[in-house]
Structure 1
Amino acid sequence: MKKYVAEAFGTFVLTLFGCGSAAVAGATLGTLGIAMAFGLSIIAMAFVIGNVSGCHINPAVSFGLFLDKRLSGKDLIGYWIAQFIGGIVAAAVLALIISMCDLGGVLATGLGCDGYEAASAVGISLVGALIVEVVLTCIFVLSVLGSTADERTAPYAGIIIGLTLAFVHIMGIPLTGTSVNPARSFGPALMMAFNGDMTALSQVWVFIVAPLAGAALAALVWMGLKQKAEK
Structure 2
Amino acid sequence: MSITKRCLAEFIGTFWLVFGGCGSAVLAASFPDSNNALGIGLLGVSLAFGLTVMTMAYAIGHISGCHLNPAVSLGLWVGKRFPKTDLVPYISAQIGGGIFAGGLLYLIASGKPGFTLMDGFAANGYGVHSPGGYSMLAALVTEFVLTFMFLFVIMGVTDRRAPQGFAPVAIGLALTLIHLIGIPVTNLSVNPARSIGPAVFVGGWAMAQLWLFLLAPLAGAACAGLVYSTLVGDVKLRRMKLKI
- Would you say same fold, with TM above 0.5? yes
Gaps of 5+ in 2: 31-38, 235-244
* Mapping 1:22-33, distance limit 5 Å: 22-27=25-30, 28-33=39-44
Tell me the C-alpha RMSD between the 2 structures.
Answer: 1.3
Which stretch shifts more, 117-126 or 32-41? 117-126
Tell me which protein shows more helix as a share of its residues: 1
Q: What stretches of structure 1 of length at least 5 have no aligned partner?
A: none
Corresponding residue of 1:220? 226
Matches within 5 A, 1:24-103: 24-27=27-30, 28-102=39-113
| Cα deviation digits, residues 98-136 of structure 1 (max 9, x gap) | 11123x224144221110000002211111111110000
Specify the SS of the correspondent of 2:231: helix
Q: Which residue of 1 aligns with 2:10?
A: 7
Q: 2:177 aligns with which of 167, 176, 192?
A: 167
Deviation at 1:152, TM superposition (A): 3.9
Query: What are the superposed Cα offsets for residues 40-99 of structure 1, whole Å, 9 maximum, x if unpaired?
Result: 000110011111100000011101111111211121111000000000000000000011
Whether 2:120 is the aligned partner of 1:114: answer no
Counterpart of 1:149 in structure 2 is 159
Separation (CA, whole Å) in 1 of partners of 2:87 and 2:176: 25
**Contact kept in structure 2, 1:116 and 1:129, CA below 8 Å:** yes
SS of residue matched to 1:19? helix
2:206 corresponds to which residue?
200
Consecutive aligned runs of 4 or more in structure 1 exceeding 4 Å deviation: none
TM-score normalised by length of structure 2: 0.88
Question: 2:19 corresponds to which letter in structure 1?
Answer: L
CA–CA separation in structure 2 for the residues paired with 1:100 and 1:16: 16
User: Identical aligned pairs, as a percentage?
Assistant: 46
Quick one: distance in 1 between partners of 2:119 and 2:40?
A: 14
Return closer, same or farther for 1:71/1:3 CA change in 2, 3 Å cut-off. Answer: same
